[in-house]
Copies of this chain bind each other. A is one copy, B any other.
Amino acid sequence: MLHVLLHMARHDGPMTSEAIGTMLGTNPVVVRRTLAGLRDAGYVRSDKGHGGGWVIACDLERVSLLDVYRAVGGPRLFAIGNEHSNPDCAIEQLVNAAVDDVLRDAEALLVERLGAVSLADLSKGLDARCAGDPRWQLERVGR
């Protein structure tokens, strides 16, 4: 979705779900489902009808990767975690506490780092990277 947002930012005029779907090698409905979160957060806007589609609706400077992550969906950052926290077992309490402690710190790091990078940062990085190479100003999507 970051990929999509950056393309969208560099595209004048709306992008349709179908175009994005083709770009991602997926399906327009899936695109709508996923972008719905970003729309609800106010980061993009969608217009119906002729000439409709998806447009950036925010200041890239004020939206971080963390914002996108949260808007798009998963509260689950880790593939591991404590399932059955049985409050009756001291061993489990201790193990969970130890694992939670580590996981909390790692999540804090992720949140901090993802929160520190804005979409504008990425966009600027792209400018720098492609300076003098106008090819990349177009959408080079492929798959």
Interface residues of A, Cβ cutoff 8 Å to B: 2-3, 6-7, 10, 24-25, 65, 69, 74, 76-80, 84, 86, 88-92, 94-95, 98-99, 102-103, 105-106, 109-110, 113-114, 117, 122, 125-126, 129-130, 136, 140-143
Contact = CB atoms under 8 A, between A and B. Distances in A.
Copies in the complex: 2
A115 to B, nearest CB: 10
14 contacts: A3-B89, A3-B91, A25-B84, A65-B98, A77-B80, A78-B79, A84-B143, A86-B141, A86-B142, A89-B140, A89-B141, A89-B142, A90-B136, A98-B122
A94 B117 CA distance: 13
A113 B102 contact: yes
A15 to B, nearest CB: 13
Contacts of A80: 69, 74, 77
The 8 closest A-B pairs by CB, nearest first: A102-B113, A88-B142, A2-B95, A90-B136, A76-B79, A106-B110, A6-B91, A79-B79
Nearest to A76: B79
A83 to B, nearest CB: 10
A110 B117 contact: no
A78 B74 CA distance: 12
Contact of A106 (B86, B106, B122): B106
